[in-house]
Amino acid sequence: MKLQASTRSNSSSGGVPLFEKLKYTWQLLKFRISEPGAMDFAMQIRNEVAGVAAIYERETGKPASQARVLEIGFGPRPQRAFGLTGFFKDVTAVDLDAPVMRLSDLVRVFRKNGLERGIKSLARYALFDARQWSTFHKVLTESTPHYRPDAAKLVVGNAGDHATWDQFGGAIDIVFSTDVFEHILPAELEVLLTTIRSRLAPGGIVVTRPVVYTGISGGHAVSWYPQNVDAQTDGTTAWGHLLDPDFTINTYLNKLTRRDFVELFKRVGFEIRGDFAEFGRMGEQWMTEERRAALAHYDDYELFSNRVEFLLR
Ligand SMILES: C[S@@+](CC[C@H](N)C(=O)[O-])C[C@H]1O[C@@H](n2cnc3c(N)ncnc32)[C@H](O)[C@@H]1O
Cα–Cα dist 98/76, whole Å: 7
Tally the residues of the chain: 313
Cα–Cα dist 171/169, whole Å: 7
- N-term to C-term CA, the chain: 29
Cα–Cα dist 13/2, whole Å: 26
Mutational pocket test of ligand 1: of 9, 12, 44, the residue with most ligand atoms within 8 Å of the beta carbon: 12
- Coil vs helix vs strand at 197: helix
Does 69 sit in the ligand 1 pocket, CB within 6 Å? no
% of residues, the chain, pLDDT over 90: 71
Do the beta carbons of residue 96 and residue 72 sit within 8 Å? Answer: no
Mean pLDDT of the residues in the chain: 89
Do the beta carbons of residue 68 and residue 90 sit within 8 Å? Answer: yes
**Alpha carbons within 13 A on the beta-carbon side of 21:** 17
- Ligand 1 geometric centre to CA of 297 (Å): 31
Of the ranges 32-46, 125-139, 188-202, 221-235, the best mean pLDDT one: 188-202
Chain segment 261-280, per-residue pLDDT in tens = 999 999 999 999 999 999 99
Nearest atom, ligand 1, residue 184 CA: 16
Q: Which of 117-126, 253-262, 275-284 has the lowest mean pLDDT?
A: 117-126
Residue 162: is its pLDDT beyond 60?
yes
With cut-offs at 50, 70 and 90, classify the pLDDT of residue 9. very low
Residue nearest to atom 27 of ligand 1 (CA): 75
Give me the mean pLDDT over the 62-76 stretch: 96
DSSP type of residue 126: I
Percent helix, strand, coil in the chain, to 5, is 45, 15, 35
What pLDDT, on a 0 to 100 scale, did the predictor assign at position 16? 65
CB-count exposure of residue 53 (10 Å: 0-12, 13-18, 19+)? buried
- Ligand 1 geometric centre to CA of 5 (Å): 15
DSSP type of residue 226: G
Mutational pocket test of ligand 1: of 96, 192, 222, 227, the residue with most ligand atoms within 8 Å of the beta carbon: 96
Q: Which domains occur in the chain, in start order?
A: 2-312 (3.40.50.150)
Cα–Cα dist 228/41, whole Å: 16
What pLDDT, on a 0 to 100 scale, did the predictor assign at position 19? 74
β-strand partners of 311: 207, 274
What pLDDT, on a 0 to 100 scale, did the predictor assign at position 13? 46
